[in-house]
Amino acid sequence: MTTAVAPAPADQEHDAHHEHPAWLAHHFDDAEQQFDAGKLGMWIFLVTEVLFFSGMFCAYALYRNRNPEVFEFCSTFLNEKLGAINTGVLLFSSLTMAWAVRASQLKQTKTLIGMLGATLGCAAMFLGVKAVEYSHKWSIGLFPGKFYVSQIEGAPHSTVPYLWYLSIPALILLVGFVLYYVYAFVAASKFHLRVAGPLVVAALCFFGGVKLGQILEAEESHGDSHAAAGSNAHGHEHSDHDGHDHAKAALAPTVNLLGEPETVLHDVAVSPAETNTPDSNVNQKGMAGLFFSIYYCMTGVHAFHILGGMAVITWLIVKSARHEFHSKYFGPVDNVGLYWHLVDFIWIYLFPLLYLIT
Amino acid sequence: MSVVTNPVTMPATHPEAGKEDNYLTHSSGFLSWALTLDHKRIGMMYLVGVMSAFALGGVLALMIRLHLWTPNLEPNQAWLLNKTYNQVFTLHGAVMVFLFIIPSIPAALGNFLLPIMLGTKDVAFPRLNLGSFYLWIAGAIFFLFSLFATGLDTGWTFYTPYSIESQGPVIAATLGVFILGFSSIFTGLNFIVTINTMRPPGMTWFRMPLFLWAVYSTSIIQVLATPVLGITMLLLAAEKLLGIGIFDSRLNGDPIAFQHFFWFYSHPAVYIMILPAMGIISELMSVHSHKGIFGYRMIAYSSVAIALFGFLVWGHHMFTSGMADVTTIVFSALTFTVSIPSAIKVFNWIGTMYQGTVSLNTPMVYALAFIFLFTIGGLTGLFLGALSTDMHLHATYFVIAHFHYVMMGGTLIAFLGGLFHWWPKMTGKMFNDFGGILSAAIVFVGFNLTFLPQFVLGTRGMPRRYASYKPEFQLLHQLSTIGALMLGVGLLVALLVLLHSLFYGSKAPKNPWGGATLEWECSSPPPHDNFSSAPTVGDPYDFSKIEYDPKTGSYFKKK
């Protein structure tokens, strides 16, 4: 007989000595050992994650040190309102995640699922805002490296619906989750309802994030452009992709960039002779393009970590819906929580390093 | 149909005749292996995997050597086209480094031995362990893809800017390295957690066998260095796909930054390769000298010291690439410090043999070969760590010979020694000792014949990676090629000895060599759960109570 015999949780000779509950893996002596092992494993994994990102932080330090003016010029293309709102969203998700850990210890399944769902929703909202940011940048040609399009005043925006493309996976997931919810409702399965609910909400949160991002992006373009701090006043001209009210008024970034005496950029070594286009040294593939390479690599790899976190949080929701966690077995929630805080933490570094340079 | 003895009904009074429960017979069928969570089976699967990779890398090495039999001054008449030659040495290096040496000892032998030596049932995360193995398979598939897609000609280091321009399947290869890196990280993570949290009562840090200290140090490097390689490879793939320019000087990127990133991993990786080998030698020296290890704590600490120093010396690969003078001096000085813990180990191994009762069986002969070859490899490293000589020797055959003495004369020889040492434990079969010693002798002579001439070639200016050379180098090249063929024969003999033992070997006793570590206290091969009851942990190098029992051919521990 060729049956796959994975080591069963309880082996015969072992049973004689200990009681081994289903949640305790067979090779651990007790709950404490299992918890300690899991936790140490997660911390070591987080160390590898920090080192993984460290390569990109090194690249950032290297090129910022080499061309500080490029970073100052480029960071004005990043909408710090979107960055700030995303920072807030992630910080809030860390709160809900920590709360989820507590709820799992106290066996409060409803709170636990609610908090995990909230964390998932925040993650989705973060990605929604990010999708607005990315699609906006792509539409005005802010691509990485050799695909960077030099920013010239009045250049037509791309009509490719990038935001739509980025939303398609979320839309498919939303439809899938709604169908799943309907199925759970029809089957009247408590377990499936508990799982499907947070998933539907999370998928909706993505579109909430998209809407939020669009509102803030539009505000940046139309509303308080002149009320905004002088140093980043030129940011709005670039953001102006839907309305054309500013098209005439919008001189190229450098006009503001170099013209305004208050701006910090004033002392940057860019030639004041050029008035219509950004300094040609900066506004090219090997300069601004390199900044956006670093920007996309760092935020992109971070976004992939968010996606990974969402996958494991979903797994936790399923486990929670099965009432698997209790005071002696909550390691998975705790460890995913640690991971989630790290992902949050990395963003807390990325936000000032990329968005708040000027 | 003949009556098949049913192992279940076999009376327990017949332990020799019946099939005892061991990890090999515990369950059967393809899936019982493919989905196993048993560290011993995963170790065996790794063993088969890394040996296959080694065979592939070895064939590629022989192709290089055969091509260099003649000076090839007319590239069109050469055996391999220049282009093909570049691909062959690239794949030789990449396969040997990423698919063979790095996983060889930790993932194959380490996986099998670590929990047993520690006295636990399994590693901390058995599923992750299986996952590591499948990541290894996935990485290997990417590599084989680049082999069959042909054209990977960057050298195993993937240096920019050439790797950006190369038309070969660099992306597939870098993604392969990326995946293999995660396989290595997860193995290291698993081992650290296992050793930290799962030691049974009595197994204090300083009662751990030195092999475990070595594997632990290796794991630290794997966990700390490999992620940097991961991001480097990812950035290189992004460079090729998206032209991000970080390493591309045409886009103001910095190709030297790639070298820094690459060697920040790849120099510590050298210690990923050699440290577990040193751990094996510590075991072999003590067991086959039947004498406690000399300077246990110094060997243990020196493993950790090598692991930590290893992070500070990567710049010595780049002395000629362009660095500030002060930086090169600092890197050179730090490089010399690594020789201190290495020398401590060699001294202690020799001290272990002194006044011991040395049994010259196959594992010990390999271990002696290791000491000889590793010493040459280590000392020639000092020539390369010194700035002035490195300017002359950089990228010559001297470097090739140096790291082959360390990687092959060191790691491979120790791997073979360890394989012979633990073979009875892993398979339950004794091998032909004469055959084993014969293989060790051929390998030793063949190895020296291959690489000693390369030191000479290097000092005379023969650059590495060239498909052709000046006619005056021909004699030395031919000696090297003869040596390589001999080496191949020796390795083949070793393989045949091991395969022969599988079919015709006598049953291995529990403790054929007289070891005092825990793996010798469970049967050969070990049962599924390693120990039926928690083992009593003593001094791993206390041989005073180990006695030979001629009836069973096994050593045992006096009560």
Give me the CATH number covering residue A266: 1.20.120.80
Name the residue among B282, B299, B309, B292 with its Cα closest to residue B363. B282
The reply to whether residue B246 touches residue A55, judged by beta carbons under 8 angstroms, is no
Give the CATH number, domain containing residue B481. Answer: 1.20.210.10
State how many domains chain B has.
1
Tell me the C-alpha distance between B106 and B213, whole Å: 12
Question: Is B512 inside any structural domain?
Answer: yes
Residue B534 forms contact with A (CB below 8 Å): no
Tell me the C-alpha distance between B206 and B401, whole Å: 36
Question: Is B31 inside any structural domain?
Answer: no
Contact B228, B264 (CB under 8 A): yes
Residue B196 forms contact with A (CB below 8 Å): yes
Contact B239, B246 (CB under 8 A): yes
List, in order, residues 6 or more apart from B463 with CB less than 8 Å away: B395, B396, B397
DSSP per-residue codes, B494-513: HHHHHHHHHHHPPBP-S-SS
Contact A96, A344 (CB under 8 A): no
Tell me the C-alpha distance between A330 and A38, whole Å: 10
Tell me the C-alpha distance between B320 and B313, whole Å: 15
Tell me the C-alpha distance between B395 and B515, whole Å: 43
Range of the domain at B304: 41-557
Tell me the three-class secondary structure of B195-228, residue by residue.
Answer: HHHCCCCCCCHHHCCHHHHHHHHHHHHHHHHHHH
Question: Is A2 inside any structural domain?
Answer: no
Question: Is A1 inside any structural domain?
Answer: no
Range of the domain at A130: 32-355
- In chain A, the N- to C-terminal Cα span, in Å, equals 70
ipTM: 0.91
Residue B250 forms contact with A (CB below 8 Å): yes
pLDDT value at residue B432: 96
DSSP secondary structure letter of residue A263: -
Question: Is A206 inside any structural domain?
Answer: yes
Question: Is A238 inside any structural domain?
Answer: yes
Tell me the C-alpha distance between B483 and B454, whole Å: 11
Residue B30 forms contact with A (CB below 8 Å): yes
Structural tokens at position A105: 């210890």
Question: Is B330 inside any structural domain?
Answer: yes
* Cβ atoms within 10 Å of A340's Cβ, excluding its own: 27
pLDDT by residue for chain A (358 residues), tens only, comes to 344 444 444 444 444 445 678 899 888 988 999 999 999 999 999 999 999 999 999 999 999 999 899 999 898 899 999 999 999 999 999 999 999 999 999 999 999 999 999 999 999 999 999 999 999 999 988 999 888 888 887 778 888 899 999 999 999 999 999 999 999 999 999 999 999 999 999 999 999 999 999 999 888 776 444 333 333 434 444 444 443 333 333 333 443 444 333 333 434 444 444 434 456 688 888 888 999 999 999 999 999 999 999 999 999 999 999 999 999 999 999 999 999 999 999 999 999 999 998 7
* Cβ atoms within 10 Å of B357's Cβ, excluding its own: 11
Contact B42, B186 (CB under 8 A): no
The reply to whether residue A145 touches residue B243, judged by beta carbons under 8 angstroms, is yes
The reply to whether residue A286 touches residue B31, judged by beta carbons under 8 angstroms, is no
The reply to whether residue B231 touches residue A56, judged by beta carbons under 8 angstroms, is yes
Of the given ranges (A11-20, A317-326, B13-22, B95-104), which has the lowest mean pLDDT?
Answer: A11-20
Question: What pTM did the predictor assign?
Answer: 0.88
Question: Is B318 inside any structural domain?
Answer: yes
- Of B36, B223, B248, nearest to A48 by CB-CB distance is B223
The reply to whether residue B246 touches residue A290, judged by beta carbons under 8 angstroms, is yes
The reply to whether residue A7 touches residue B528, judged by beta carbons under 8 angstroms, is yes
Question: Is A116 inside any structural domain?
Answer: yes
Name the residue among B182, B181, B183, B209 with its Cα closest to residue B195. B209
Question: Is B520 inside any structural domain?
Answer: yes
- Of A5, A55, A62, nearest to B254 by CB-CB distance is A62
Tell me the C-alpha distance between A343 and B158, whole Å: 30
Contact B354, B428 (CB under 8 A): no
Residue A54 forms contact with B (CB below 8 Å): yes
Own/partner contacts of A310-315, CB < 8 Å, gap of 24 or more, are: A310/A120, A310/A123, A310/A124, A310/A202, A312/A336, A312/A339, A313/A116, A313/A119, A313/A120, A313/A123, A313/A340, A314/A120, A314/A199
Kind and range of the H or E run holding B548: strand B546-549
Name the A residues in 311-350 with CB < 8 Å from any B CB: none
Question: Is B14 inside any structural domain?
Answer: no
Contact B174, B158 (CB under 8 A): yes
Name the residue among B130, B114, B107 with its Cα closest to residue B50. B107
Preceding amide of B525 cis, omega within 30: yes
Distance of CA B219 to the CA centre of its chain: 13
Half-sphere exposure of A85 (CA within 13 A, CB side): 22
State how many domains chain A has.
1
Half-sphere exposure of B427 (CA within 13 A, CB side): 20
Amino acid symbol at A319: K
Question: Is B36 inside any structural domain?
Answer: no
Question: Is B1 inside any structural domain?
Answer: no
